[in-house]
Every structure is written in structure tokens, then in C-alpha cells.
Amino acid sequence: MTDYREHIVKSFDDEISNVVHLVTQMATLVEEQYKLLYHVIDTGSPATTEDILENEPKLDNYDAEIRDAVITLITLRSPVAVDLRDVLTSLKISTDLERLGDYAKNIAMRVSTLEEIPDTAIKNDILRLLNLVQVQLKKVIDAYVSRNVEKAKEVIKSDIEIDKTYDVIYEKIVDMIKGKVSKLRLLTYTKLLFAIKTLERAGDHIENVAEEIHFIVTGENLDLKSGKMNSDTVKDQSE
């Protein structure tokens, strides 16, 4: 009987570990997409844009696989609250990662069809914003793998830097549009505004993942920017 119970527990643990492993693989692929995106913005490489587009279905597959694994686990295992919290939140993280992948694809497609080569200064500003997103993405992946709440807090507190950088670049581009520009230049600037807004939204989704990591570890919904804790917590049914 003891061996049977140990087998059940090990099987259950393996299934949870599989969900975590899938989320981690998906997050790593998203990180790779943003590295490729940096190269697209920096060089305009059509081949790198194709690489991003080829990876997109893989992210969709990860999302579907994670969803199926979570549904199967909940249906067959009836996990207690602490484990249920882990698997359901991993599903939410998967959704955020899928959206981050969409953003990388969308920006790459817009940049690859720019009507004109953007000014070097503006391009460098956008690369700086993208780099901030990349740093946040790497930190949040590390926080998820290590279940590190402090790292998650760092991610959310640092999101303000992405917002500020976005605001500065936005104002620069808008000022350029206000001057006399050709139709082609106007179309180029419009696509660049789309790109930086999408990067700013990517930062928001990374922040979501950080908040979800905090919930996995503590069972508490916490607005880390304001430091306020939601009183709605999930208690471990095993207690």
C-alpha cells in the first residue's frame, strides 16, 4: 500500500514538474524571439523576421500543451489548493507568454515593411527600450524557475523604467511628425509608434508574470508597485 501511495505521489509530482518544465521552455523561446527581434530592428534582416515567424507556431503549441496538461491534472488528480494554485497560475503565465510572442511577431512584421530607414537616433532609442524589455524578461524567467519572490518584485518595480523610456521616445517621434514630413516618412513614424507601444505593453505582460509568480509562492495577490496586498488569499487545504 505504501509503495502504491508513493507511486501516486511521484506520478503527481512528475505531472506538476512537467507543467513547470513546459512553461520554462515556452518562456525561453519567447526570450529567443526578443533576441531575434533586436536583430531585426538593428539590421532590418528579412531572414531573421522569417525565423521569428517560424517560431510562432511553436509558442502556440506550447500554450496548447500546457493547457491540456493542466486540464488533465485537475480532472484526474483533484489537487489541493497549493498545487491547484501552482498549475492554474502557470496556465495564466502561459497566456502572457503567448501574447508576448505575438508582440514580437507583430513588431517584426511592421519593422520589416518600413517605408524608409528610420533615423539612427530613433532606432537606437527603440533598441534601448527593447533591451529593457529583454532584461525584464530574463529576470522574470529566472524568478519563475527559482520561485524567487524578491526577483519578481524587482521586475515590477523596474517596469516604471520601461514606461518612462516609452514616453520619451513617443514624444520624440510625435515631435518629428509635427514637422513637415513626406507621406512615406509619416507611414514609417506611424509604424515605429506602433512598435514602441507594443514594447510598452510587453513590459506590462512581463509585470503580470511577476505578479503571478508572487501568487504561486505566497498565495497572495499583491500590487507590488503600491505595496498593497489583496486580502483574498488561497489557503492550503492540506493544513
Q: Give DSSP secondary structure letters for 11-41.
A: HHHHHHHHHHHHHHHHHHHHHHHHHHHHHHH
User: Would 225 be classed as within a structural domain?
Assistant: yes
Q: What's the pLDDT at 76?
A: 80
Contact assessment for residue 59 and residue 30, using Cβ atoms and an 8 Å cutoff: yes
Domain count, the chain: 1
Q: Look at residue 105 and tell me if it is in a domain.
A: yes
Tell me if 163 is assigned to some domain: yes
Q: Residue 239: inside a domain, yes or no? A: no
Q: Measured between alpha carbons, how far is 60 from 53 in angstroms, rounded to an integer?
A: 12
Q: What is the CATH number of the domain that holds 50?
A: 1.20.58.220
Cell digits of residue 187: 507611414
pLDDT at 182: 87
- Note the pLDDT of residue 223: 62
Query: Is the residue at 237 inside a domain?
Result: no
In this prediction, residue 5 carries a pLDDT of 47
In a domain, 19, yes or no: yes
Residue among 96, 198, 101, 185 at smallest CA distance from 144: 96
Residues of the chain falling short of pLDDT 70: 1-12, 80-82, 222-239
Q: Provide the 3-class DSSP secondary structure of residue 235.
A: coil
**Domain, as residue range, for 145:** 2-229
- pLDDT tens-digit profile of 42-67? 998 999 999 999 999 999 999 999 99
Q: Is residue 60 part of a domain?
A: yes
- Tell me, yes or no, whether 203 lies in a domain: yes
Q: Which helix (H) or strand (E) holds 223?
A: strand 220-223
pLDDT for residue 83: 77
Q: Where are the alpha helices (DSSP H) in the chain?
A: 2-43, 46-77, 81-112, 120-146, 149-178, 183-218
Q: pTM for this structure?
A: 0.86
